[in-house]
Chain A
Protein backbone atom coordinates (compact mmCIF):
# COMPACT_ATOMS: atom_id res chain seq x y z
CA UNK A 1 0.00 0.00 0.00
CA UNK A 2 0.93 3.66 0.14
CA UNK A 3 1.27 6.26 2.86
CA UNK A 4 1.42 9.92 1.87
CA UNK A 5 1.91 12.67 4.45
CA UNK A 6 1.65 16.41 4.01
CA UNK A 7 0.85 19.19 6.47
CA UNK A 8 -2.82 19.93 6.94
CA UNK A 9 -2.60 23.71 6.90
CA UNK A 10 -0.09 26.46 6.20
CA UNK A 11 -0.30 30.23 6.29
CA UNK A 12 1.97 32.62 4.38
CA UNK A 13 2.15 36.29 3.46
CA UNK A 14 1.49 37.76 0.04
CA UNK A 15 4.76 38.16 -1.87
CA UNK A 16 6.58 35.58 0.24
CA UNK A 17 7.82 32.07 -0.57
CA UNK A 18 6.26 28.92 0.86
CA UNK A 19 7.38 25.30 0.73
CA UNK A 20 4.86 22.48 1.06
CA UNK A 21 6.39 19.13 1.91
CA UNK A 22 5.20 15.66 1.04
CA UNK A 23 6.63 12.36 2.23
CA UNK A 24 5.56 9.02 0.90
CA UNK A 25 6.13 5.29 1.20
CA UNK A 26 5.50 3.12 -1.82
CA UNK A 27 6.68 -0.16 -3.30
CA UNK A 28 6.56 0.69 -6.99
CA UNK A 29 7.18 4.43 -7.34
CA UNK A 30 6.39 5.66 -10.82
CA UNK A 31 6.03 9.42 -10.50
CA UNK A 32 4.80 12.18 -8.20
CA UNK A 33 2.28 14.88 -9.06
CA UNK A 34 1.19 18.13 -7.46
CA UNK A 35 -2.31 19.47 -7.98
CA UNK A 36 -3.97 22.70 -6.86
CA UNK A 37 -7.60 22.69 -5.80
CA UNK A 38 -9.62 25.78 -5.02
CA UNK A 39 -12.67 25.35 -2.83
CA UNK A 40 -15.57 23.87 -4.76
CA UNK A 41 -13.50 23.30 -7.88
CA UNK A 42 -11.69 20.38 -9.49
CA UNK A 43 -7.97 19.76 -8.95
CA UNK A 44 -5.74 21.30 -11.61
CA UNK A 45 -2.36 19.86 -12.55
CA UNK A 46 0.69 21.81 -11.41
CA UNK A 47 3.78 19.63 -11.79
CA UNK A 48 5.20 16.16 -12.29
CA UNK A 49 8.45 14.59 -11.10
CA UNK A 50 9.69 11.11 -11.83
CA UNK A 51 13.46 11.68 -11.56
CA UNK A 52 15.34 13.28 -8.67
CA UNK A 53 15.77 17.01 -8.83
CA UNK A 54 13.96 20.26 -9.30
CA UNK A 55 11.34 21.05 -11.94
CA UNK A 56 10.56 24.74 -12.38
CA UNK A 57 7.44 26.23 -13.91
CA UNK A 58 7.17 29.96 -13.47
CA UNK A 59 6.36 30.76 -9.84
CA UNK A 60 6.00 27.06 -9.02
CA UNK A 61 8.81 24.53 -8.54
CA UNK A 62 8.70 20.93 -7.40
CA UNK A 63 11.52 18.83 -6.02
CA UNK A 64 11.83 15.07 -5.68
CA UNK A 65 14.20 12.77 -3.78
CA UNK A 66 13.26 9.17 -4.48
CA UNK A 67 15.76 7.74 -1.99
CA UNK A 68 14.20 9.80 0.81
CA UNK A 69 10.59 9.40 -0.33
CA UNK A 70 10.30 13.17 -0.24
CA UNK A 71 8.98 15.96 -2.41
CA UNK A 72 8.21 19.59 -1.96
CA UNK A 73 6.27 22.22 -3.86
CA UNK A 74 7.75 25.71 -3.76
CA UNK A 75 5.55 28.70 -4.46
CA UNK A 76 7.27 32.05 -5.00
CA UNK A 77 5.88 35.60 -5.02
CA UNK A 78 2.70 34.43 -3.37
CA UNK A 79 -0.56 35.94 -4.51
CA UNK A 80 -3.94 35.91 -2.81
CA UNK A 81 -5.26 33.64 -5.55
CA UNK A 82 -2.76 30.97 -4.45
CA UNK A 83 -4.95 30.32 -1.41
CA UNK A 84 -6.07 26.76 -2.13
CA UNK A 85 -5.50 23.14 -1.21
CA UNK A 86 -2.35 21.56 -2.63
CA UNK A 87 -2.50 17.83 -3.23
CA UNK A 88 0.50 15.54 -3.47
CA UNK A 89 -0.19 12.36 -5.48
CA UNK A 90 2.04 9.34 -5.99
CA UNK A 91 1.74 6.95 -8.91
CA UNK A 92 2.47 3.36 -8.04
CA UNK A 93 3.36 0.68 -10.55
CA UNK A 94 1.24 -2.35 -9.67
CA UNK A 95 2.62 -5.89 -9.71
CA UNK A 96 -0.26 -7.09 -11.84
CA UNK A 97 0.32 -4.36 -14.37
CA UNK A 98 -1.09 -0.89 -14.63
CA UNK A 99 -0.64 2.11 -12.40
CA UNK A 100 -2.51 3.60 -9.48
CA UNK A 101 -2.53 7.24 -8.39
CA UNK A 102 -2.91 7.82 -4.65
CA UNK A 103 -3.52 11.29 -3.23
CA UNK A 104 -2.49 12.82 0.07
CA UNK A 105 -5.17 14.59 2.06
CA UNK A 106 -3.94 17.98 0.87
CA UNK A 107 -2.37 21.05 2.43
CA UNK A 108 -4.69 24.02 2.83
CA UNK A 109 -2.64 27.15 2.10
CA UNK A 110 -3.91 30.51 3.24
CA UNK A 111 -2.23 33.60 1.84
CA UNK A 112 -2.64 36.72 3.95
CA UNK A 113 -1.93 40.38 3.28
Chain B
Protein backbone atom coordinates (compact mmCIF):
# COMPACT_ATOMS: atom_id res chain seq x y z
CA UNK B 1 0.00 0.00 0.00
CA UNK B 2 1.44 3.37 -0.98
CA UNK B 3 2.34 5.78 1.78
CA UNK B 4 1.42 9.41 2.24
CA UNK B 5 2.58 11.56 -0.65
CA UNK B 6 3.18 15.29 -0.63
CA UNK B 7 3.82 17.66 -3.48
CA UNK B 8 5.89 19.57 -4.17
CA UNK B 9 8.85 18.34 -2.14
CA UNK B 10 10.71 21.64 -2.32
CA UNK B 11 9.49 25.15 -2.88
CA UNK B 12 11.12 28.57 -2.91
CA UNK B 13 8.93 31.66 -2.65
CA UNK B 14 9.40 35.32 -1.86
CA UNK B 15 7.76 37.35 0.87
CA UNK B 16 4.20 38.35 0.11
CA UNK B 17 3.51 35.45 -2.23
CA UNK B 18 1.08 32.67 -1.50
CA UNK B 19 1.62 28.91 -1.71
CA UNK B 20 -0.50 25.77 -1.91
CA UNK B 21 0.78 22.41 -0.70
CA UNK B 22 -0.86 19.09 -1.48
CA UNK B 23 -1.17 15.86 0.47
CA UNK B 24 -2.54 12.49 -0.65
CA UNK B 25 -3.23 10.17 2.30
CA UNK B 26 -2.78 6.44 2.48
CA UNK B 27 -5.62 4.71 0.65
CA UNK B 28 -8.59 4.31 2.98
CA UNK B 29 -7.40 6.92 5.46
CA UNK B 30 -9.97 9.64 6.03
CA UNK B 31 -8.16 11.86 8.51
CA UNK B 32 -5.40 14.26 7.45
CA UNK B 33 -3.37 16.47 9.78
CA UNK B 34 -0.85 19.16 8.92
CA UNK B 35 2.20 20.18 10.94
CA UNK B 36 4.91 22.81 10.62
CA UNK B 37 8.39 21.78 11.71
CA UNK B 38 11.17 24.26 12.42
CA UNK B 39 14.46 23.74 14.27
CA UNK B 40 13.45 26.05 17.07
CA UNK B 41 9.81 25.08 17.60
CA UNK B 42 9.73 21.43 16.64
CA UNK B 43 6.51 19.97 15.25
CA UNK B 44 3.61 22.39 15.59
CA UNK B 45 0.04 21.31 14.82
CA UNK B 46 -1.68 23.32 12.10
CA UNK B 47 -5.02 21.63 11.50
CA UNK B 48 -6.83 18.33 11.16
CA UNK B 49 -9.42 17.32 8.60
CA UNK B 50 -11.83 14.42 8.59
CA UNK B 51 -14.48 13.79 5.95
CA UNK B 52 -13.92 17.21 4.38
CA UNK B 53 -14.45 19.00 7.71
CA UNK B 54 -11.84 20.81 9.74
CA UNK B 55 -11.95 19.15 13.16
CA UNK B 56 -9.19 21.03 14.96
CA UNK B 57 -6.96 24.03 14.38
CA UNK B 58 -3.66 24.98 15.98
CA UNK B 59 -2.48 28.42 17.04
CA UNK B 60 -1.53 29.80 13.65
CA UNK B 61 -2.68 33.03 12.01
CA UNK B 62 -5.51 33.10 9.51
CA UNK B 63 -2.98 33.23 6.67
CA UNK B 64 -2.78 29.47 7.09
CA UNK B 65 -5.79 27.62 5.74
CA UNK B 66 -6.62 24.22 4.40
CA UNK B 67 -9.26 22.01 2.96
CA UNK B 68 -10.00 18.37 2.30
CA UNK B 69 -11.63 16.90 -0.76
CA UNK B 70 -14.11 14.05 -1.06
CA UNK B 71 -11.29 11.63 -1.96
CA UNK B 72 -9.55 12.61 1.34
CA UNK B 73 -6.75 14.47 -0.43
CA UNK B 74 -5.92 17.69 1.35
CA UNK B 75 -4.36 21.02 0.52
CA UNK B 76 -3.01 23.74 2.73
CA UNK B 77 -2.54 27.33 1.68
CA UNK B 78 -0.37 30.04 3.14
CA UNK B 79 -1.04 33.56 1.96
CA UNK B 80 1.18 36.65 2.27
CA UNK B 81 4.26 34.60 3.03
CA UNK B 82 6.70 35.80 5.70
CA UNK B 83 10.33 34.82 6.24
CA UNK B 84 9.30 32.96 9.39
CA UNK B 85 7.10 30.63 7.35
CA UNK B 86 10.22 28.86 6.09
CA UNK B 87 9.84 25.34 7.43
CA UNK B 88 9.18 21.71 6.67
CA UNK B 89 5.44 21.17 6.28
CA UNK B 90 4.38 17.66 7.13
CA UNK B 91 1.13 15.93 6.39
CA UNK B 92 0.00 12.85 8.30
CA UNK B 93 -2.93 10.54 7.63
CA UNK B 94 -4.85 8.09 9.77
CA UNK B 95 -7.88 5.88 9.38
CA UNK B 96 -9.87 7.82 11.93
CA UNK B 97 -8.90 10.79 14.09
CA UNK B 98 -8.12 8.44 16.97
CA UNK B 99 -5.74 6.20 15.04
CA UNK B 100 -1.98 6.28 14.55
CA UNK B 101 -0.81 8.99 12.19
CA UNK B 102 1.57 8.17 9.36
CA UNK B 103 3.64 10.96 7.91
CA UNK B 104 4.47 11.96 4.37
CA UNK B 105 7.97 13.08 3.33
CA UNK B 106 7.10 16.75 3.76
CA UNK B 107 7.39 19.90 1.68
CA UNK B 108 10.43 22.06 2.39
CA UNK B 109 9.33 25.69 1.96
CA UNK B 110 11.91 28.44 1.79
CA UNK B 111 10.73 32.05 1.86
CA UNK B 112 13.25 34.62 0.61
- By a beta-carbon cutoff of 8 Å, the part of chain A in contact with chain B is 30-31, 33, 35, 41-45, 48, 87, 89, 91, 94, 97-106
Supply 12 further A-B pairs (C-beta < 8 A) apart from A43-B43, A94-B56. Answer: A33-B100, A33-B101, A42-B103, A42-B104, A42-B105, A42-B106, A44-B103, A99-B56, A100-B45, A102-B45, A103-B45, A104-B42
- Contact check, B100 vs A48: say whether CB atoms are below 8 A apart: yes
Nearest chain B residue, comparing its CB with the CB of A97: B55
In the complex the two chains form, what is the Cα distance from A105 to B42 in whole Å? Answer: 5
In the complex where A30-B98, A33-B100, A100-B56 touch, is A87 in contact with B106 (Cβ < 8 A)? no
* B44-92, CB < 8 A from A: 45, 48, 55-56, 90
Give the dominant DSSP class at B's interface. Answer: strand
In the complex the two chains form, what is the Cα distance from A33 to B33 in whole Å? Answer: 15
In the complex the two chains form, what is the Cα distance from A30 to B90 in whole Å? Answer: 22
Most buried by A among B90, B100, B106: B100
Is B97 close to A, CB under 8 A? Answer: yes
Most buried by B among A33, A43, A91, A94: A43
- Contact check, A98 vs B56: say whether CB atoms are below 8 A apart: yes
In the complex the two chains form, what is the Cα distance from A3 to B102 in whole Å? Answer: 23
Nearest chain B residue, comparing its CB with the CB of A1: B59
Nearest chain A residue, comparing its CB with the CB of B35: A103
In the complex the two chains form, what is the Cα distance from A53 to B107 in whole Å? Answer: 36
Interface CB pairs A-B, < 8 A, 27: A30-B98, A33-B100, A35-B103, A42-B90, A42-B103, A42-B104, A42-B106, A43-B90, A44-B103, A45-B101, A45-B102, A48-B100, A87-B43, A89-B43, A94-B56, A97-B55, A98-B97, A99-B98, A101-B33, A101-B45, A101-B101, A103-B35, A103-B42, A103-B43, A104-B42, A105-B41, A106-B42
